[in-house]
Amino acid sequence: MAQVVAVIASTHHPFYYRATTATGEDRPPFADEWARKILAFRETLTRANPDVLVMVGSDHFHQLWLDNMPQFLVGKAPFYDANWYNEEREFGLPRMLLRGQEDLSAHVLRAGLDAGFDLAFSNELRIDHSITCPIITLRPEADLPIVPIYTNIFAPPLPQPKRFVQLGAAIREIVESWPSHLRVAVIGTGHLSLELGGPRQFGPQGPDPEFDRRAVEWIANGDLDGCLSEVTLDSLHAPGNATHGFMDFMLMMGVAGAGAKADHVDTLDLFHTMEAYFTWYPNGAPA
């Protein structure tokens, strides 16, 4: 059976690529520290030596819109075009073409349906920066096949936080039941406190540092009970109007498992957000 060799959760700041490739006066003062942290984070995936990446993210109203908004969607294609024109224009992100792992996509869909998750699928999915940003930070060669999984964190009615956790646990079980010798890393990205277009968007840090502090503790310690006791669809409005992306972090806690302490934890306060990086090794840290 396939082996989950790493579980990785992070934020997906779209300006990382532009900030760390800029030179001279265009290079922001925080770029060097950011790049150092990302290099250390990248090494956690490299050490795991995966063959396949299961990528969890959320479409930012690029391909999925209010006329057809699935709650959970699995990509099922041989290749994925990546990044959209506005992401190239605003963030400087490159066009990408990523290879798909169709056998694992089919297995996730079939086993997910059988486990009680009414998963949608797409054979023509173009992906955005929620998935390409962790490719850029963790595997810039973009040489490994992927299985993209999109969640709805933007368009109410949203699934409950506990459903994200349940899906995460199911993804772990499903991947480990795949009849394959391949090594799989499950990577997901979300947000801590985040405000988009509101009065708290452009502060020196995230809009709710106290929420960020508690969130990092929940994730780092695998404290699903503590997290679920405080986080609701209503409560996530308070830290910032885009904080529902935290539910993707909760999904990744479900993949890692209750009580699983992260093997790598790092954070960085940036303008308007805290960046956060977590890695778990389910079978122990690689030698």
What pTM was computed for the model? 0.95
Assigned token pair, 207:
């809009």
The strands making up 3-11's β-sheet, listed across from edge to edge, are 120-122, 72-75, 146-151, 52-57, 183-190, 3-11, 273-280, 264-270
Closest CA to 154 of 90, 245, 284: 245
157-166 pLDDT, tens digit each: 999 999 999 9
Count CB neighbours of 168 within 10 A: 27
| Arithmetic mean of pLDDT, 73-102 | 88
Q: Bridge-partner residues for 55, per DSSP?
A: 148, 187
Q: Is residue 200 very low, low, confident or very high in pLDDT (cuts 50, 70, 90)?
A: confident
Q: Is residue 96 very low, low, confident or very high in pLDDT (cuts 50, 70, 90)?
A: confident
Query: What is the residue extent of each domain of the chain?
Result: 1-278
Q: Which helix (H) or strand (E) holds 269?
A: strand 264-270
Residue 121 to residue 61: CA distance in whole angstroms: 17
17: pLDDT strictly greater than 90: no
- The helix/strand/coil state of 89 is helix
| Arithmetic mean of pLDDT, 147-166 | 97
Residue 9 to residue 267: CA distance in whole angstroms: 12
Closest CA to 242 of 201, 183, 286: 201
Q: Domain 1-278's class? A: alpha beta
| Residue 284 one-letter amino acid | G
| Arithmetic mean of pLDDT, 276-282 | 98
Write down the pLDDT at residue 14: 86
Q: Is residue 268 very low, low, confident or very high in pLDDT (cuts 50, 70, 90)?
A: very high
Write down the pLDDT at residue 61: 81
| Arithmetic mean of pLDDT, 239-257 | 96
Assigned token pair, 18:
């532009």
Assigned token pair, 154:
């933007």
Count CB neighbours of 156 within 10 A: 8
